[in-house]
């Protein structure tokens, strides 16, 4: 039988599947899912765009097992890259039974030739406009092999996702919807912009409000029905869970990748949400916290949680991935703004950028605990097909593993630049356990006066998941050395600054943003030494702090240290004198050799005027150091 020419009956059956490997160690238990997870909308949307004479069944394999003997005519599978191997296994089982299998989603869109080997047809791109044509072709017996989106679907008169098909009592909430698609940012590692477009499309607000009103009423009826059909104990416990905010339906999840992409739209939407009297969460930019008026409006309309793509606490890493609009110096203020309005902040952080070294893990955990961030999601940088990052790593021959099941944000599949793959993997494990230790949980959420029980419950369930699925991990002693070396040291002296003779156009007063000394450190690739790169402005105070940090690093690492002054913009004579102070240098010599690279060339006039006891510090080191 050729499925592409097989016509279905009068009342055809469609089975929609979200694959999830049964043996995946990160598979959540029922209690974990009910506390911290919500379903994807892709399959409920496909169900909504399926003609009403079709019988539709939806199975999320993260929730329930697949019965391959399920009566059906067509099987539709939504495929993320990390679940592609499992999707192909599922497809093979159904095709052996003569079922027609159609694959769609991000992975078939970017790996169509691969996906076609495992399906009768694939859908590439957003499916709302394509799926009705697929169904019509199935019914006529003329199914094509590939269906490609030629333009992004309009979001007007959008069919409401059939969330009623989702397994009840299996998620934090089934009240999921969206208001926008696409993202006008262009982060190198992200597949959203390539898949959904680099502009933002928005749904009409009245349609969003109508959908939420209906969904809220349906879910309330569904919960009441389950309570009345169950035991008295079940009714009492469900009532208690609703009261404390643990029962599904207590929060609406907007699953937009960039919910706050348009200020005027959000203002109108959030004003309209007030009448619904709901609690809601969304994915947002962190810099929404720069707008007190909008944060207050979000809180008044029911916002209780924002997931924010913080990604990194390194400005260099943010610039590297085209996310320079995130400003590290503002993070603490932005988080405080959300907290002041009772909104939980859930950052996503990524480890493994080219500028990341072993210090990134402890730096991230310390920052999150210090700022009392309620939850955080850590990921290993993952070069997904379709992204600019994937193409760059392919060109640089840095991918060492193309087992798609490991492209899940939890496995290292490429060669990092400033640490080994093993160090990146171990650091990811270590950060998760530190973040969800009992001490960390208490420090982060004990301050909250709103939704304390749900926040504690979510942390407890995360802790259970990580304890069960994630090895402990460890950091090398060098990780702390690097962390303690690095940072931004303020520059207070602005008079008598000497420009760096090595830089072009060195003259002129320093800008306000240059009144600091940025200290970056790394282990040298070829020999046992620490390389310290300096940028900014040097005065005697930050020069002295620099030497103090170098002394501690030399003592703890027992490695030679090379300090590069090539990119320092300006320095005071007193700073140069501090750097060659014999008493300060004596504290370093028992542990390591210290070398200054390009200090004499950059600030010759200041160096020539001071007495230097040990000229060996100016011995030139290899240029590549």
Instruction: Give residue-wise pLDDT tens across range 503-529.
Output: 876 555 555 556 899 999 988 877 788
Residue among 365, 361, 362 at smallest CA distance from 416 = 361
Residue among 317, 348, 280 nearest 419 (CA): 317
Predicted confidence at residue 510, as pLDDT, reads: 55
State the Cα–Cα distance between residues 485 and 551, nearest whole angstrom. 10
Q: Say what the pLDDT of residue 624 is.
A: 47
- Give the distance from CA 501 to its chain's centroid: 42
- Confidence (pLDDT) at 183: 85
Of 295, 298, 292, 327, the closest CA to residue 311 belongs to: 327
Domains annotated on the chain, with CATH? 3-148 (3.40.50.280), 251-475 (3.80.30), 478-618 (3.30.750.24)
Listed in sequence order, the residues at least 6 apart from 475 whose beta carbon sits closer than 8 Å to its beta carbon are 358, 361, 362, 426, 427, 430
Give the residue among 486, 498, 471 at the shortest CA–CA distance from 605.
498
Residue 535: per-residue pLDDT:
92
What residue ranges of the chain have pLDDT lower than 50? 1, 4, 623-625
Segment 252-270, tens digit of pLDDT? 999 998 898 899 999 999 9
CB atoms within 10 A of CB 50: 22
Task: Quote the tokens at residue 437.
Answer: 């230790």
CB atoms within 10 A of CB 622: 10
Q: Are 228 and 235 in contact (CB under 8 A)?
A: yes
* pLDDT value of residue 620: 58
């Amino acid at each position: 039988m050729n499925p592409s020419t097989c016509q279905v009956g009068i009342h055809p059956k469609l089975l929609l599947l979200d694959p999830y490997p049964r043996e995946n160690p990160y598979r959540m238990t029922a209690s974990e899912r009910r506390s911290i997870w919500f379903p994807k909308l892709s399959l409920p949307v496909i169900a909504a765009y399926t003609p009403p004479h079709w019988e539709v069944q939806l199975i999320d394999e993260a929730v329930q097992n697949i019965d391959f003997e399920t009566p059906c005519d067509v099987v539709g599978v939504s495929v993320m890259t990390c679940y592609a191997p499992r999707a192909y296994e599922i497809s093979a089982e159904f095709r052996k039974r003569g079922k027609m299998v159609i694959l769609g989603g991000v992975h078939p869109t970017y790996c169509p030739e691969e996906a076609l080997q495992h399906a009768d047809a694939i859908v590439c791109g957003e499916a709302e406009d394509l799926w009705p044509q697929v169904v019509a072709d199935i019914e006529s017996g003329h199914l094509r092999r590939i269906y490609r989106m030629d333009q992004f679907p309009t979001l007007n008169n959008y069919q409401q996702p059939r969330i009623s098909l989702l397994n009840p009592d299996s998620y934090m909430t089934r009240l999921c919807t969206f208001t926008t698609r696409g993202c006008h940012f262009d982060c190198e590692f992200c597949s959203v912009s390539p898949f959904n477009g680099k502009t933002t499309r928005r749904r009409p607000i009245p349609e969003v409000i109508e959908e939420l009103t209906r969904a809220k009423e349906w879910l309330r009826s569904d919960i009441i029905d389950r309570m009345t059909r169950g035991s008295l104990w079940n009714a009492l416990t469900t009532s208690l869970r609703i009261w404390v905010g643990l029962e599904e339906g207590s929060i609406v999840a907007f699953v937009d990748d960039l919910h706050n992409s348009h200020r005027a739209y959000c203002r109108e939407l959030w004003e309209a949400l007030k009448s619904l009297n709901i609690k809601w969460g969304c994915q947002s930019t962190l810099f929404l916290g720069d707008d007190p008026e909008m944060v207050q409006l979000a809180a008044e309309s029911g916002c209780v949680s924002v997931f924010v793509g913080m990604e990194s606490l390194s400005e260099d890493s943010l610039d590297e991935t085209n996310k320079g609009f995130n400003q590290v110096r503002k993070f603490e203020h932005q988080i405080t703004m959300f907290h002041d309005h009772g909104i939980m902040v859930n950052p996503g952080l990524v480890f493994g950028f080219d500028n990341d070294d072993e210090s990134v893990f402890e730096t991230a955990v310390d920052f999150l605990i210090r700022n009392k961030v309620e939850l955080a999601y850590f990921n290993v940088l993952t070069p997904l097909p379709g992204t600019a990052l994937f193409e760059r790593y392919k060109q640089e021959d840095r991918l060492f593993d193309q087992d798609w099941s490991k492209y899940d944000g939890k496995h290292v599949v490429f060669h990092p630049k400033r640490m080994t793959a093993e160090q990146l993997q171990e650091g990811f494990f270590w950060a998760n356990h530190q973040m969800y230790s009992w001490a960390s949980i208490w420090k982060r959420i004990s301050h909250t006066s709103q939704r304390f029980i749900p926040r504690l419950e979510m942390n407890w369930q995360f802790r259970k998941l990580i304890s069960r699925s994630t090895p402990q991990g460890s950091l090398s002693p060098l990780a702390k050395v690097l962390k303690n070396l690095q940072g931004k040291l303020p520059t207070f002296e602005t008079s008598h600054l000497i420009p760096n003779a090595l830089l072009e156009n060195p003259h002129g007063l320093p800008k306000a943003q240059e009144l600091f000394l940025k200290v970056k450190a790394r282990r040298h690739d070829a020999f046992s030494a620490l390389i310290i790169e300096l940028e900014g402005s040097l005065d005697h105070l930050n020069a002295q702090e620099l030497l103090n940090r170098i002394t501690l690093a030399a003592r703890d690492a027992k490695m030679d240290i090379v300090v590069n002054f090539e990119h320092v913009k300006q320095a005071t004579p007193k700073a140069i004198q501090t750097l060659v102070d014999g008493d300060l240098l004596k504290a370093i010599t028992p542990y390591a050799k210290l070398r200054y690279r390009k200090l004499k060339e950059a600030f010759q006039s200041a160096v020539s005027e001071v007495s230097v006891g040990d000229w060996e510090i100016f011995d030139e080191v290899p240029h590549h150091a």
